[in-house]
């Protein structure tokens, strides 16, 4: 990368640093640039994902020190690849948590949007991939640490069964892997993140190139309680009245679920996840006294609960009081992401069954993904 002209930027000249306006102008064609002081999320605001937070804490600390040690690491041929793959259902915190850490460690971030990267014209997708990574790499080289976040990375790195797409997709994957390798080889302080809601569609080579794989799940009832309480507290902090029965009923429901959960684990003599074959919720369904916000939000993401809170605000802004019923009905109205994910999975399965099932089985085996590290 160095001082050479970037692919597709014929007017590029060697410069010492990029101004804020130049970064926004050049990278803005591929996505949205966030400077640390503009980012609203903080790490503490995002509930749960504690293991992911620990991993990202280590990652960003290393990124901030990377330039100091990159030359030494290159000599030992141990240069790490500053890459992280985040996967899991939409709305579970992949983008917001990365932005929050960018804010904490004062690292600018560009969230690349797939619809600006992928082109129907032959070769343009490859050109766009090279341009955005080389430009971000040059910015990192001149200005210091930078994060390039590919949202919906499966759009450029998927294994498709459609024979008409496979050639172009494979070329795009190869191009993406080449620029990642180049950034790593040259010791540039550019962190490359990829996020996907469809990890099973990712090319296996993409899986192998990313150093860290972090899986994001729907929040369990313990975490949902904290998320719900945090949004109610925010409404209180806005000087809007809150019916205290929301907290009381939430705590009572939580304690009842926890009791059933402990009894079930004792009976089965093992740990049981809330999302394991509906064992816990089948047991809860037998209890008529357990019904409320936690049961309603089974399969909701944090973003779903936030949307439900925003819907409730339309009512409480003019009534001046958030009641349990208003909150419950607002959350019920928005629905949970898990329902939509399940429907999409069913539709995808139906489409695949009409195609080459043997090809799909091979793909599934190769792209189901390694364990989270």
pLDDT at 35: 98
**CB-based contacts of 92, cutoff 8 Å, min separation 6:** 216, 217, 218, 219, 301, 302, 303
How many domains does the chain divide into? 2
Percentage helix, strand, coil, to 5, in the chain? Answer: 60, 10, 30
From 310, 333, 332, 334, select the one nearest 322 (Cα to Cα): 310
197 and 285 co-located in one domain: no
Residue of higher predicted confidence among 123 and 161: 123
278 and 296 co-located in one domain: yes
Cα separation, 307 vs 201, whole angstroms: 28
Query: Does residue 165 lie within any of the structural domains?
Result: yes
Residue of higher predicted confidence among 170 and 298: 298
Query: Does residue 347 lie within any of the structural domains?
Result: no
Cα separation, 160 vs 167, whole angstroms: 10
Mean pLDDT, residues 253-264: 95
Model's pTM, two decimal places? 0.83
Mean pLDDT, residues 137-155: 94
177 and 311 co-located in one domain: no
Mean pLDDT, residues 79-103: 94
212 and 225 co-located in one domain: no
152 and 44 co-located in one domain: yes
Domain membership of residue 80 as a residue range:
20-217+363-367
| Helix (H), strand (E) at residue 174 | helix 163-185
Query: Does residue 11 lie within any of the structural domains?
Result: no
Q: Which of 25-29, 278-282, 352-356 has the lowest mean pLDDT?
A: 352-356
Query: Does residue 281 lie within any of the structural domains?
Result: yes
Query: Does residue 203 lie within any of the structural domains?
Result: yes
Query: Does residue 342 lie within any of the structural domains?
Result: no
Is residue 312 a contact partner of residue 326, using CB atoms and an 8 Å limit? yes
pLDDT at 330: 98
Compute how many other C-beta atoms are within 10 angstroms of the C-beta atom of residue 99: 23
48 and 114 co-located in one domain: yes
The CATH number that applies at residue 148 is: 3.40.50.300
183 and 129 co-located in one domain: yes
The pLDDT tens digits of the residues spanning 303-351 come to 999 999 999 999 999 999 999 999 999 999 999 988 665 544 443 444 4
Is residue 80 a contact partner of residue 191, using CB atoms and an 8 Å limit? no
267 and 122 co-located in one domain: no
pLDDT at 111 over 70: yes
From 301, 336, 279, select the one nearest 224 (Cα to Cα): 301
From 139, 265, 269, select the one nearest 191 (Cα to Cα): 139
Rounded mean pLDDT of the chain?
85
Determine what percent of the chain is predicted with pLDDT higher than 90.
61
Q: Which of 45-59, 173-187, 226-240, 256-270 has the lowest mean pLDDT?
A: 173-187
pLDDT at 122: 64
pLDDT at 286: 84
Query: Does residue 164 lie within any of the structural domains?
Result: yes
92 and 199 co-located in one domain: yes
DSSP, collapsed to helix, strand or coil, labels residue 188 as coil
70 and 139 co-located in one domain: yes
Query: Does residue 28 lie within any of the structural domains?
Result: yes
60 and 180 co-located in one domain: yes
166 and 52 co-located in one domain: yes
pLDDT at 197 over 60: yes
């Amino acid at each position: 990368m160095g001082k050479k002209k970037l692919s597709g930027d014929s007017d590029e000249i060697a410069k010492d640093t990029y101004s804020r306006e130049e970064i926004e102008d050049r990278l803005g064609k591929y996505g949205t640039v966030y400077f640390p002081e503009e980012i609203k999320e903080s790490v503490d605001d995002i509930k749960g994902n504690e293991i992911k937070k620990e991993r990202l804490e280590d990652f960003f600390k290393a990124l901030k020190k990377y330039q100091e040690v990159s030359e030494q690491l290159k000599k030992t041929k141990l240069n790490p690849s500053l890459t992280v793959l985040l996967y899991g259902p939409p709305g579970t915190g992949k983008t917001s948590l990365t932005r929050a850490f960018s804010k904490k460690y004062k690292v600018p971030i560009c969230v690349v949007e797939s619809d600006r990267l992928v082109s129907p014209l032959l070769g343009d997708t490859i050109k766009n991939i090279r341009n955005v990574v080389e430009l971000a790499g040059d910015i990192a080289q001149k200005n210091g640490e930078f994060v390039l976040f590919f949202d919906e990375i499966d759009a450029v790195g998927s294994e498709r069964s459609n024979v008409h797409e496979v050639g172009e997709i494979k070329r795009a994957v190869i191009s993406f892997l080449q620029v990642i390798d180049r950034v790593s080889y040259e010791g540039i302080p550019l962190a490359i993140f990829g996020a996907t809601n469809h990890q099973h569609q990712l090319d296996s080579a993409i899986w192998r190139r990313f150093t860290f794989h972090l899986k994001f799940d729907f929040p369990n009832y313990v975490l949902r309680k904290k998320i719900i309480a945090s949004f109610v507290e925010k409404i209180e902090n806005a000087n809007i009245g809150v019916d205290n029965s929301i907290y009381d009923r939430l705590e009572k429901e939580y304690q009842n679920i926890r009791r059933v959960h402990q009894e079930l684990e004792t009976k089965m003599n093992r740990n049981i996840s809330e999302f394991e074959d509906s064992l816990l919720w089948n047991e809860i369904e037998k209890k008529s006294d357990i019904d409320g916000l936690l049961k309603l939000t089974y399969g909701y993401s944090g973003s779903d609960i936030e949307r439900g809170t925003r819907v409730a605000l339309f009512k409480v802004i003019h009534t001046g009081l958030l009641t349990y019923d208003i909150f419950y009905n607002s959350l019920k109205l928005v629905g949970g992401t898990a329902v939509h994910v399940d429907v999409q999975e069913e539709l995808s399965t139906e489409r695949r069954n009409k195609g080459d099932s043997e090809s799909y089985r091979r793909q599934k085996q190769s792209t189901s993904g390694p364990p989270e590290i």
